[in-house]
Structure 1
Amino acid sequence: MKVFNSDVIIVGSGIAGLMAAELLSFHKNVIIITKSDVSHSNSMMAQGGIAAVIDQEDDWRDHFLDTLRAGCHYNNEDVTELLVKQGATMIEKLETLGVQFDKGKDGTYLLGQEGAHLKRRILHAGGDATGKELTTRLITRVKQHVTIHDHTDARDLMVENGQCYGVVCLDKYQQPVRYFAPHVVLATGGAGQLYSVTSNHSTITGDGMALAYRAGARLADMEFVQFHPTMLVKNGRGAGLVSEAVRGEGARLVTEDGQLLMEGKHELGDLAPRDVVARVIFQRILKNEKVFLDIRSIHDFQKKFPSVSSLCVKAGIQLENGLIPIAPGAHFMMGGVETNAQGKTSLDGLYAIGEVANTGVHGANRLASNSLLEGVVFANELARTILHTEETVRQTKVMPIVCQDMSTVQELPTINEIQEIMSKWVGIVRTKENLLKAIRWFEKYKSLIQSNQYYQISSEQHVIRNMLTIGYLIAASALCRKESRGSHYRIDYPLSSDHCLLQTVFCSIHKGEPYVLNKKGFVSNFVI
């Protein structure tokens, strides 16, 4: 069996993991593990940009308040303040790493505006290819200093007495490998592929959250799944993301007969928070109506939005008509592995950054373009923490991995079946009845979900196991929250005018069993 020892193991290759590797690599031995190619991540696909207070007419307090409003005041305010205050500093740091943000002829940043931002503060690189520009630049740098093991499947974390000390993997040849390190960092992204229509890369299946759950780490706010309002659709399936920046430049949501969809629905109209816009579109689609983005008011659309234009051409959409067919799709997880501002989880030696983590900065609904910002800010915080942490040398024995035969587990569902269950019963609009249907379906696989045994299974079976785990946790958490807030909409608990001020229970997940944790910290067993 192969064994690797390192100072830091990073699982995942999105912007958070790459940024952490870059900042740590000059002082620590770092290995990146990624289950596909290093360039395959949601970060690479991010179109909108990165939010930061750069303009003299802007202020971190404005960005802070916009973030809280979008998050329905469920945010961790201290960590949110840290996030927005670090924006300008991180832009400077990215530029020193070679990232070139779009600027006008006078040398000033071209700042865009997106949903729920009251000011123009979105920086772009390469037009609508910001994520690609940032990620590509970081990959180029990281490859010079960091060992990257791609096509390596992280199967489980190694934990003893509440301390994580490594990762069990299968390499590209399907051979078992163990990685030992005093610092293990999860940077695996979210779980968008649990749904039929999603903006997420095909590899984003909730793996890091499932690893942490099986290891006994605490997860929180799993019910909060953001649906992006404007996924390009073709024949009922997602065909790519249409950036919110398109609406920021003047595109309007319209019905097939030309009716302005968001007229009178919200004071910000087409730039209302994503959860609001997604629900309005969803209600029309339920009535078998089609919804479009009207882009006819945007001058030089193809020049301003080359990535979106390319998606449309690939899907056979005629841009000359000025109408792009759209529908909501799973986009971002606000919940995840519970961490502090430095990425520390409830297990010693285990960290989480980026979308896999739940720091509380996004509350119940992420503000547009705060995700790339989150990735670099908390990668920076993590790196500083690790560099100032005294490492305890741990004696480890390389014990053989005892794998359970897969025949002991009942036949697994397909990925499509899981997606259908999640989309139908744990989607944009939820009810107790439907959530219970989903939970009972997932409970058929409870022994596999809650087991911490190693299984001799294929990569696809491993992905299905992870998807079953996270699907169950999302459904159980959604049943816990008896209110509508942000991205979590319960039709049996309608939104009230003061819903953003409610301070009710939220659901955390720990060691294989759901718990309800209220604001005073009282924990009680959750019974379905």
Structure 2
Amino acid sequence: MRHVVVLGSGAAGLAAALGAARAGAEVTLAYPGEGIDASPGSTQLAQGGIAAALGPGDSPEAHALDTVAAGAGLVDKRAAEHLARRGAGEVEALLAAGFPADPGLSLEAAHRVARIVHAGGDRTGAALHRFLAGRVLEEPRIRHAPGTRLRSLVLRDGTVAGLDTADGTRLTGDAVVLATGGYCGVYPRSTGAPGAIGTGIVAAARAGALLADMEFVQFHPTVLEGTGHLISEAVRGAGAHLVDGEGRRFLFDTDPRGELAPRDVVSAGVCRALDAGPVWLDARHVPDLPGAFPGITARLAEAGIDWTRQLVPVAPAAHYSMGGVVTDLSGRTTLPGLYAVGEVARTGVRGANRLASNSLLEALVFGAAAGEASASAGEWVAPAVSGEFLDVALPGPGPDGDARDAIAAGLGVERTGEGIVRTLAALDGPGGDAASIGRLMAAAAQSRTESRGAHRRLDHPDTDPAQARPILLRATEGVTTC
């Protein structure tokens, strides 16, 4: 019987564990806290919903087209079609199993129709996490390894055979599924889990796995100024406006969709408007804000803001990382025995700019697929890759120091070649996972001499059709063997 180790207890990790157990494997689910609920990740913080083509007049084909359009020329169309097609079935099955969804479907930016499933208003991620965790706790094939923090992957004859933990213990298995999250935590301000600093990505790269799209980081345009408190895309979908100090809806100057343009467009517009003064979210005219968005209402009240009567000061903050470990549609990486799912993975469905509310769907679809595949002892077929290859030297061990400030300075919403070079220079020395991620991001950003999706270079403002290909990254350092 196959033994699968799943590292991470967000939606992707829970879906992978359930998928592997359903396929007949024995599963060890490892996470950093004393329990699943005590291992906070970005899933629980997700205010947006789950995108799925369920409504009248919608289709998986239309959902896939919106996903491709948002990704600015870098989405793998086959992956987008797979996500939309299998995603509709996964969400239908979720609802049939009793997931407590709110009635109706909502509209979010860059979707042509209302196709967003919500639960608890703006608490969909928390509701999904509770639902999946409950199913995992009832599954006898899944045993738990709390208190697990990844240090490195273990290789045996070129195949991943387990992982070493920060406390010196080793977990072994026939396959390892990484579900350790993304890397937005390397920025001083982000909306996700503070511990999401790319630990799984760095471990996979040091073991020899291929990475891609590390230059693309999605900044959410409506985050409460001075904090990491997100104000969901769904608020603008419900009719809220972004205005400058004069009360003008400035986003129509750059895109006819205004507040409902893709996130990269809105974030760049907000960033530029902030140069002239504050930017405000005006939701005062949106009906029943406390009922529709109870979590946001409570959080703003804690900050002394009654958004039924007051404007809300907002600014962009790092929200979602598009890059990660290259995988195929079943979560297989270029390293035998290693699967990756969720934000740690680069599946091909995000491109240069992830479509809103595709993230929870991606966790469900690719998590289940990787779990099923990892339970099989079939021949390993690595994902096919093509693009520009870069070798990146990762720093030797040491404290991260000022890595976050250096990353924010050169790899923000808008970038320049000079700023990227300064970031690389600042990270040229010993460091931890944040410094390693910063070097990977900066190397890819330096190489992409154009503006595309979430990567915007002021010194290369145009999109270059010749650069419509991924930048593939290889770490130049060695591996852990046994």
TM over 0.5: same fold? Answer: yes
Stretch of structure 1 that moved more, 478-487 or 258-267:
258-267
- State the Cα distance separating 1:412 from its structure 2 match: 2.8
Are 1:276 and 2:273 matched, yes or no? no
Which of the numbers 307, 311, 317 marks the counterpart of 2:299?
A: 311
- State the Cα distance separating 1:503 from its structure 2 match: 4.1
- State the Cα distance separating 1:124 from its structure 2 match: 0.6
Residue 300 to residue 49, structure 1, CA distance change in 2 (3 Å): same
- State the Cα distance separating 1:314 from its structure 2 match: 1.9
Residue in 2 that maps onto 1:130: 124
Residue in 1 that maps onto 2:107: 113
Contact 2:283 2:308 in 1 (8 A): no
- State the Cα distance separating 1:125 from its structure 2 match: 1.0
CA separation in 1, counterparts of 2:183 and 2:308?
35
Which of the numbers 400, 408, 412 marks the counterpart of 2:399?
A: 412
- State the Cα distance separating 1:389 from its structure 2 match: 3.0
Residue in 2 that maps onto 1:218: 210
Please state whether the residue corresponding to 1:226 is helix, strand or coil. Answer: strand
After superposition, what is the alpha-carbon deviation per residue over 1:477-499, rounded to whole angstroms, capped at 9, x for unaligned? 10011111000001111135xx5
- State the Cα distance separating 1:348 from its structure 2 match: 0.5
Contact 1:239 1:315 in 2 (8 A): no
Contact 1:157 1:164 in 2 (8 A): yes
CA separation in 1, counterparts of 2:352 and 2:379?
36
Residue in 2 that maps onto 1:512: 476
- Indicate the structure (1 or 2) with the bigger Cα radius of gyration: 1
The 5 Å alignment of 1:79-94 reads 79-94=79-94
After superposition, what is the alpha-carbon deviation per residue over 1:11-55, rounded to whole angstroms, capped at 9, x for unaligned? 111101001112222422111112235231111111110000011
CA separation in 2, counterparts of 1:92 and 1:66?
20
Contact 1:481 1:505 in 2 (8 A): no
Which of the numbers 133, 139, 160 marks the counterpart of 2:156?
A: 160
Contact 2:31 2:149 in 1 (8 A): yes
CA separation in 1, counterparts of 2:419 and 2:379?
48
CA separation in 2, counterparts of 1:66 and 1:269?
17
- State the Cα distance separating 1:504 from its structure 2 match: 4.1
After superposition, what is the alpha-carbon deviation per residue over 1:74-113, rounded to whole angstroms, capped at 9, x for unaligned? 101111110011122011221244312111xxxxxx1101
After superposition, what is the alpha-carbon deviation per residue over 1:243-269, rounded to whole angstroms, capped at 9, x for unaligned? 000000000001122111212321211
Please state whether the residue corresponding to 1:508 is helix, strand or coil. Answer: strand
Contact 2:2 2:377 in 1 (8 A): no
- State the Cα distance separating 1:428 from its structure 2 match: 0.8
Stretch of structure 1 that moved more, 195-204 or 485-494:
195-204
Residue in 2 that maps onto 1:487: 454
CA separation in 2, counterparts of 1:505 and 1:267?
28
Are 1:144 and 2:138 matched, yes or no? yes
- State the Cα distance separating 1:73 from its structure 2 match: 2.0
After superposition, what is the alpha-carbon deviation per residue over 1:401-423, rounded to whole angstroms, capped at 9, x for unaligned? xxxxxxx9786343xx2221111
Please state whether the residue corresponding to 2:329 is helix, strand or coil. Answer: coil
Residue in 2 that maps onto 1:285: 274
Which of the numbers 334, 348, 352 marks the counterpart of 1:346?
A: 334
CA separation in 2, counterparts of 1:121 and 1:502?
33
Structure 2: runs of 5 or more not aligned? 381-394, 478-482
Amino acid at match of 2:36: V
Please state whether the residue corresponding to 1:263 is helix, strand or coil. Answer: helix
Please state whether the residue corresponding to 1:490 is helix, strand or coil. Answer: coil
Residue 473 to residue 239, structure 1, CA distance change in 2 (3 Å): closer
Which of the numbers 445, 459, 477 marks the counterpart of 1:478?
A: 445
Residue in 2 that maps onto 1:98: 98
Residue in 2 that maps onto 1:107: none
Which of the numbers 428, 431, 434 marks the counterpart of 2:416?
A: 431
CA separation in 2, counterparts of 1:487 and 1:283?
15
CA separation in 2, counterparts of 1:484 and 1:431?
10
- State the Cα distance separating 1:511 from its structure 2 match: 3.1
Residue in 1 that maps onto 2:169: 177
Are 1:360 and 2:330 matched, yes or no? no
Amino acid at match of 1:439: L
Amino acid at match of 1:14: G
Contact 1:113 1:245 in 2 (8 A): yes
Residue in 2 that maps onto 1:403: none
Q: Work out the number of aligned pairs and report it.
A: 457
The 5 Å alignment of 1:224-303 reads 224-233=216-225, 237-287=226-276, 289-303=277-291
Residue in 1 that maps onto 2:387: none
Q: Percent identity?
A: 38
Residue in 2 that maps onto 1:454: none
RMSD over equivalenced CA pairs, Å: 2.0
- State the Cα distance separating 1:300 from its structure 2 match: 0.6
After superposition, what is the alpha-carbon deviation per residue over 1:303-331, rounded to whole angstroms, capped at 9, x for unaligned? 00011111111222232433111110101
- State the Cα distance separating 1:232 from its structure 2 match: 1.3
After superposition, what is the alpha-carbon deviation per residue over 1:404-453, rounded to whole angstroms, capped at 9, x for unaligned? xxxx9786343xx22211111111111111101111111122xx6xxxxx
Structure 1: runs of 5 or more not aligned? 104-109, 393-407, 449-464, 514-528
Please state whether the residue corresponding to 1:102 is helix, strand or coil. Answer: coil
Are 1:78 and 2:78 matched, yes or no? yes
Please state whether the residue corresponding to 1:53 is helix, strand or coil. Answer: coil
The 5 Å alignment of 1:179-194 reads 179-194=171-186
Residue in 2 that maps onto 1:402: none
Are 1:32 and 2:26 matched, yes or no? no
TM-score (norm 2): 0.91
Residue in 2 that maps onto 1:405: none
Contact 1:33 1:154 in 2 (8 A): no
TM-score (norm 1): 0.83
CA separation in 1, counterparts of 2:148 and 2:18?
20
